[in-house]
Structure 1
C-alpha cells in the first residue's frame, strides 16, 4: 500500500478523481502511527473512504489548500501534534527558531493559531464545504479558555475558527461516525449528537435535556471565580461513562459539547495499529524530520493516563482510561519494523504517555463507570486500581525475544510511585531496558507544590531513588535517574525552590535543563495561573509571573553551574535564605550521581 495522496496526480494514480475527506495539518506528513492525522486518515481509508492529506500548506493564499480539490464530504483540520502557540513560543513568550515536526527542523512552516488560519483559507476556497477541526489545539480550546500569549480569555476555538464541528479527544470513533452519516445523506448541519464532538447550536435552538451549563463566556472573562467554577464543572465530566453534555453561552450563540467518545476496546486498538503505515515521511519531504527520527523505531503500547497531573494535557485529550493493545499486536508491529531496510536491531521505546501504565485498569467496572475522580493516583492510589506490572513485564520480555531485535529501550517516562507496586516490571526494566538513563518526573519535592501539581511528593521519590540505586548496584550496572523538574508552577515560591535545590544536592542529583512552567490551554495549572485560585478549594495560590522571579526560580535548579552563581545568590538574598549559601554552593553535589538529559521529547506534554 502506498502513501495517501498529497496531490491530485497521486490521487489519480489510485483511480480517485474525487476524494471524500481531505485532511489539512500543520505537521509534515509522516505515515507513522505516532502521528495523529495520518492515523485517522488511514483509519478512514480502512473503512472505505477516499482520503488525502495536505501537509503544512502555505497559508498566505488559498491555492495550496486546493491541492486535492473539493472533497465530497468535508475537510478535517489539525494544527498538528502540538498547539501551534506552544510550538512557536518559549515559556518567556520568545519566538522559537525550530520546529521538530517540519523537514529540516525549520520554524515558520505553520502559522500562529493554525486551526483558525487553515479554516479561514478553506472557507475562502470552498465556502460550501464543511470544515471539521480537531487535534490537541481544538481539544484543549473547545471552551472559553485562558490564552497565555494574549493574556486574556478567548472564546471557544470553534467560534473563533468559524468551523462547522469540533472533534475532541482521540478521534477514531467520532470522525468515522460523522463520515458515515454524511455519506449516507444526513445533512451536515443537522448532526449535533456525536460523542466526542462539539457544535454551535443555531440561534434560538434549545440544547438537549440533561446538560450541564457552564458559566458563559462573558462571565468567565470578567470574573476569575466564575472561570474557576467553569473549570471545576467541566473537570467532573471527563469519564465517558457518566459524563453529561456541556453547554456554554457566548453572547447569543450556544456551544454544545457532547460527552467524550468511549475508549477503544483492545481489538479495535489492535486494528488501528495494524493499518498499512509506511513508517516513513512522504517522499516529497526532502530533509530529515526530527520528530520522526525520534520515534521511527518506537512502539506505542497504550493510550491514556490516569495520573491527572495538573499541568498535563494528556488526560484532557487521550482520557484517563488506559487502552492497551494486545501483546500479539505489539509483537506484530515489531516484526514489521524488523523487516524494514533501515532497522538496525534497536527498538527505541516500548511505551506510551507513561510506560508502566500498560495493562493497568480499573478493577471495579461498575464503580468505574460512575467515577468522577480526576486522578486514580492522587491523593492516594484508588483501591480499585489493578496496578500490577506483570503484563508490562511479560511484554518487554516478549519484545526482546523477537528475531532480529538486539536492544529494547523504554524511553517513555515512568510513574515511580506506581512502580512501587510493580516489582516485576521494576526488575525487568532495570535489568534490560534502561540503557544507563531512566526518565522520571518528580517535578518538585516540596509538599505544598506537589499537592497543587497532583504529584506524589518527595517521600515517594526518595524511596524510588533508593530502590533504583540498590537494584542497579545488585545488577552491577552504572545507571542514573534523569529527574525532570519544573520551575515557576503556580503555588511555588522562591523559598520552595531553595528547598528543592537543597533536596537535589543532598540526593546527589544535578539537572542540566529545567522546564519552566507554560500555561497551556485547558489544564488545571493554567486555571490556577490565570485566576490565582485553586478551583477545587477556592484558596488563593501564589503565581510567579514576573520575569525576575521566573529567572531566579530557574537558576536555583541550576545551582551547580558557575554561570548561574550570581542569580542563585540573588535568589537566596531575596527570600532571606542566605544561611543556605554554604550548603548549596560549596563542595560536591553529594554522592551517587544523577544527571539530566535533554533533547526533543515528542510524548512530553
Structure 2
C-alpha cells in the first residue's frame, strides 16, 4: 500500500497522476509528517482544500539537485526555517556551533544553513529566475518580520522580507490565513489586503486610519530609544481584536504589516488535527537517518495554542498570541485513540499540553470579547482576578485519556505554571493531586528561572514564594502517594539585570530552599522580537526607561552559569 505522505520526490508526484504542483514548501527541518510540525500542518491544510502540495526538506544549498527536483510551483513557494529559528538551532548562547540537531537525520547539525529563510530564498532565485511568488512563514520569519535585534550579528537587522527578497510573509500560526493566500494566488487576485500578511510596497497603505507608522528603519538603527519605541508599538499591535496595521520605511520602500489574522475557532483547530498525518519521518529522509525529535512528538498531543504568560524572554506572545485557544476534548480523545492504534505504541502518551500545559480550557472573558489589555498582563506580577484559572477541563480530559484502552500512562511533559494552580481555589488542589499521582514521569518540569525579585521583574516572572508553596504541596502529595518523584527546575543565567551577586543568591536559594544542585541552567539568549532582547540591546528597562545592567562579556556569562552549577567541595 502506497504511503500517504506529502510528495517529496518526482516519483511520488507522478504516482499521484500530477504533472506539476501548486505549492512547494521548503523547510529547514527534515520532513516529519506530524501535527506538531508547522510545515506538515500547512501542507495538510492546503492538501485538504484541493491544492497539489510538495515538500523539499533541508535542500542542499550548494547545487540545483534538491531545489529543482519537483520543478516550479504553479502558485507559490512556501519557505520556513523550521520548528526553531535557524540561528538558535545552530548556535548556543555563547555563539558556539551546536553539534546536534534533533530535526536533522542522524542528529548531526550539518543540514540547516544559518539564516535558513534567507538562504533558501536565494537558492530559489538562483535556479528559478522568474519564479512564482515566494511566501515566508514559520517562527524564524514571524519573529523577524519587523526590524529586530539579532544577537548573532549584534545588530538591528531589517525586516527579513527585504533580506530574503521574498514577496510575502504570513506571520503567526497561519494555518487558516494560508488558505486565503492560496485562493488569491489561484484566482490571480491581489493578496495585499489579507490579515496576517506582510509585504513590501513603494507606497504607504491608502487606508491610513487603520495603520500606524513605525519610525523608519534607519532611525531605529541610529537610536536605541527609537528602537524601543518602535518595539512597544509593534508589541501592542498583535491582538486580532485590537491591532492596527503597521507600516515602516526601509530606504525608499515600505514594509506593510497588516493586522493579525483572526484566531482559529475551536472547530477550525479540531479540523487541523483531524488531517491524515502519518506521524512518522518520510522514508526518503528516514533512510538518511532517524530524527531525535520524533521520539517525543510521535506520541505527544498538542491541546491548545497561545500563552498568556508573556515572559519577556519568550517568543510565543508575538508568534502564537496572548490568547489561549483550545481543542475540544472529543478531538483530543480521537487523536489519543489513533495513537493507541499505532503498531509501535507502547502505552505511553508523553505529553498533553501546549506552550504551558495547564492553560487548557479557560480564558479571560473580557479578553475574548475585547482583546488583550494594553496596560496589564494576565499573570504578572500576580494572576489577574479576571482570568479565573479553572483546571477542571484539563483534569477531566486527563481522566478520560488515561482510561483509553491500550493507554498505560499519560504524562504532562510540557512546563506548568504553578502560580495558576495555586490561584485556582476550586480545582487547583484536586488537579495537583491527580497530576502528582497519575501524570508525572518521575520529574515534573517547572520554570522559576531565578529567585531574586529584581531579576524576575525583568523576566516578567512571579516571585519565589509561589514556587516554595507549590514545592511543599507537590512533595507532600508525592510522599502521601508513596511516589519518589521530583521537580525539575529550569533556570537562566545572565538575563538582563542579573549580576554575579544575584547568581550567588540563586545558588544559595537552590541549595537551602530547593535542596538541589542545579543542572538545567541556560545562559540567556536574546530571541528576536522579545522584550528581553530589547533590554539586552538597549541596556535599559523599556517599561521605566531606567538604565539596566546587562552582562555582555561571554566569559562572564559563562561564569554566571558556573556559579550556579559548580559543585561545592566537600
CA separation in 2, counterparts of 1:367 and 1:234?
21
Q: Is the 8 A contact 2:202 2:252 kept in 1?
A: no
In structure 1, the gaps of 5 or more residues are 563-585, 587-605
Q: Is the 8 A contact 2:205 2:247 kept in 1?
A: no
**Residue number in structure 1 paired with 2:213:** 213
CA separation in 2, counterparts of 1:135 and 1:367?
27
CA positional deviation for 1:461: 0.9
Matched, 1:530 2:537: yes
Matched, 1:547 2:554: yes
**Residue number in structure 1 paired with 2:293:** 291
CA separation in 1, counterparts of 2:555 and 2:207?
47
Aligned length: 560
CA separation in 2, counterparts of 1:402 and 1:331?
8
CA separation in 2, counterparts of 1:32 and 1:512?
31
Deviations 1:177-212 (A, max 9, x none): 0001211221xxx32121111011125775643211
Deviations 1:494-549 (A, max 9, x none): 11111111111112122123111011111110000000011121111110111232
Instruction: Please give the root-mean-square deviation of Cα atoms over the aligned residues, in Å.
Output: 1.5
Secondary structure of 1:64 counterpart: coil
CA separation in 2, counterparts of 1:386 and 1:6?
47
CA positional deviation for 1:365: 5.3
CA positional deviation for 1:175: 0.8
In structure 2, the gaps of 5 or more residues are none
Secondary structure of 2:233 counterpart: helix
Deviations 1:47-76 (A, max 9, x none): 111111001100112332111111110000
Matched, 1:464 2:464: no
Deviations 1:264-321 (A, max 9, x none): 1111101100000000000112211011112111111111110000000111111111
Q: Is the 8 A contact 1:123 1:129 kept in 2?
A: no
| 1:370/1:89 CA distance change after superposition, 3 Å | closer
CA separation in 1, counterparts of 2:547 and 2:465?
26
Question: Which residue of the other structure, out of 133, 136, 144, is the alignment partner of 1:133?
Answer: 136
Structure 1 segment 176-575 matched on structure 2, within 5 A:
176-186=179-189, 190-203=190-203, 206=206, 208-284=208-284, 285-286=286-287, 287-364=289-366, 368-369=370-371, 371-372=373-374, 375-420=377-422, 421=424, 422-507=428-513, 508-560=515-567
CA separation in 2, counterparts of 1:267 and 1:395?
18
Q: Is the 8 A contact 1:440 1:481 kept in 2?
A: yes
CA separation in 1, counterparts of 2:363 and 2:212?
28
**Residue number in structure 1 paired with 2:155:** 152
Q: Is the 8 A contact 1:207 1:256 kept in 2?
A: no
Deviations 1:561-594 (A, max 9, x none): 65xxxxxxxxxxxxxxxxxxxxxxx6xxxxxxxx
| 1:51/1:367 CA distance change after superposition, 3 Å | closer
CA separation in 2, counterparts of 1:467 and 1:254?
54
CA positional deviation for 1:346: 0.8
CA separation in 2, counterparts of 1:155 and 1:296?
37
Matched, 1:170 2:173: yes
CA separation in 1, counterparts of 2:413 and 2:323?
22
CA positional deviation for 1:560: 2.2
CA positional deviation for 1:455: 0.3
Structure 1 segment 91-110 matched on structure 2, within 5 A:
91-110=93-112
State TM-score, norm by structure 1: 0.90
**Residue number in structure 2 paired with 1:112:** 114
Q: Is the 8 A contact 1:363 1:386 kept in 2?
A: no
CA positional deviation for 1:219: 1.0
Q: Is the 8 A contact 2:367 2:373 kept in 1?
A: no
CA separation in 1, counterparts of 2:205 and 2:380?
40
CA positional deviation for 1:372: 2.4
**Residue number in structure 1 paired with 2:79:** 77
State TM-score, norm by structure 2: 0.96
CA separation in 2, counterparts of 1:203 and 1:217?
16
CA positional deviation for 1:375: 3.1
CA separation in 1, counterparts of 2:326 and 2:237?
23
**Residue number in structure 2 paired with 1:5:** 7
Q: Is the 8 A contact 1:389 1:423 kept in 2?
A: no
